[in-house]
Chain A
C-alpha cells in the first residue's frame, strides 16, 4: 500500500509538472466547468422561492465542480485509441495510477486557476458559510471526487468498444447537469424527480457536498446523503474494475 501511494504521489508530481506549461488550457477547462453552475446561479437568483442561500449553494457547486472535474474521455480514452495504454500494462504497478495521477494533477491546477473566479463570484453574490457546515461537507467532497472519477473513468472505458466515447461521456454529463444539482438545486426539483435524484449517484457527485456546505440540509438528510454516497462510491468502484477487466480482454493494441 505504501508503495502504491508513493507511486501515486510520483505520478501526480510528474503530471503537475507536465501540465504546468498548459496554464491557458487549464483556464479554459475552469471556465468550461464553471459555466453550467454559473448559469444556474443567474437563473435561480431570479426566482424568489429559491431562497437566500442559493448564492452560497451555487458558489459551493462551482468549487465542487472544479475539485471533482474528470476528463478521462480526453486523457485515458485517447491512450486507448492511440495504443499508449499498452505501455501502462507493462509497468509493475496498478494501471489506475496513471489516469488517477493525471486526474488529481489537473484538479489541483484547476483549483489554483479557478480561485480568482470563485472569489469574484463570492464577492458579487454575497455568500455566507458556517465553518461547521463546510467541515461537514469535506468528507462528502472526497466521496464526490472519487465517485466522479469512477463514473467518468468507467464511461471512458467505452473506448475499448466504440469510437464515440465523447458521446457516451456527454450522456453522463447531461445526467450530472440535470439531476446532480447544477441545473436545479435538489430541493427545488418536483416530486418524484427529487426522490429519484436523491437515490441516484449524480447528486452525490456535485450537489450533495454543496448543499452540506451551504447548510441547507437537516442532520437526517445529511446522514441519508452520506449513506447513498458511500453506496454509490463502492458500486461504481466495482463497475470501474469490472469494465477494466472486460475492456482489457478485448484490447489488442495498435494495428490489431
Chain B
C-alpha cells in the first residue's frame, strides 16, 4: 500500500511537471498518432497483398499492434524515464540517493520517474485493439479479457525485468549500455513471433520473450485463453523477475558509491 502511494505521488508530480509544457504534449501526441498510423498503414498494405500473414488475419494483427502500442506506452510512461539513465547513475554514484531512502531501492531507482504524456500511445493502442476486434466481428469473453490483461501485465513485468537485468550489468561493466539493444529487441514485438525463423522464434520466446509481451496477449484476446500459454507466461514472468532482482542485489552488493 505504501509503495502504491509512493508511485502515485511520483506520477502526480511528473504529471504536473509535464502539463506545464503544453507544446510538448502536442508534439508527443502528434508523434504517437503518426507512428501508430504508420504501423496501421503498413498492416493495411501487407494485407492488400495477402490474406494471412503467418496465419494471422488483418483483425488479429490490429489487435497485436494495439497491444504492442499499449504496452510500449506503459513502458515509456512508467519505466523508461528511470531506466534510461540507470547505468549512468550507477557510474556516477547517484544511486547513493536511492540507497539511503526508506523504500525498496530497486523500485525507487527504476520506477519513480514518469513521463505521463507517453500514455497517449497506450490510449491510442486501446483504440486500435477495439478496431481490430470490430474487424474480426468478435466480442471477447470475460475470461479472454482477463487472460489478455494478465498477459499484458506479465509482458510489462518482463519488459521491466529485462531492462533492470541489462542495466544491472553496469555494476560490473560501467561503460556497457545495452538500452538501445533492448529497444531493438522490443521492436520485434510489432509482429507475431510466427513470422520469424525457428531459431529466432525460440530466442524470442525464451531468451527475450517478445512472444509473451505481444503475441500471446493478442492471441488470447482473439482466440480465447489457452491455459498452457498462461502458465508458461507466468513461469517466464516469475523467472525473469527473480533473475533480474537477484542480479540487482548482487550488483548493489558490489556497488561502492561514487567511486565504484
Contacts and interface: CB of A to CB of B under 8 A. Distances in A.
Contact of B195 (A25, A46, A183, A188): A46
Contact of A174 (B38, B46, B181, B188): B38
B190 A25 contact: no
Interface residues of A, number: 33
Given A25-B177, A49-B49, A183-B38, A42 B31 contact: no
Nearest to B188: A39
A32 B181 CA distance: 8
A43 B191 contact: yes
Interface residues of B, number: 34
B27 interface: yes
A48 interface: yes
B102 to A, nearest CB: 36
Contact of B53 (A39, A46, A193): A46
A47 B177 contact: no
B34 A174 contact: yes
Give chain A's interface secondary structure class. helix
A171 B31 CA distance: 7
A188 B177 CA distance: 38
A50 interface: yes
B46 A184 contact: yes
Contacts of A188: 45, 49
Given A32-B184, A43-B46, A43-B195, A178 B27 contact: no
Contacts of B38: 174, 177-178, 183
A203 to B, nearest CB: 14
A29 B34 CA distance: 23
Interface of B: 23-24, 27-28, 30-31, 34-35, 38, 41-42, 45-46, 48-50, 53-54, 175-181, 183-184, 187-188, 190-191, 195-197
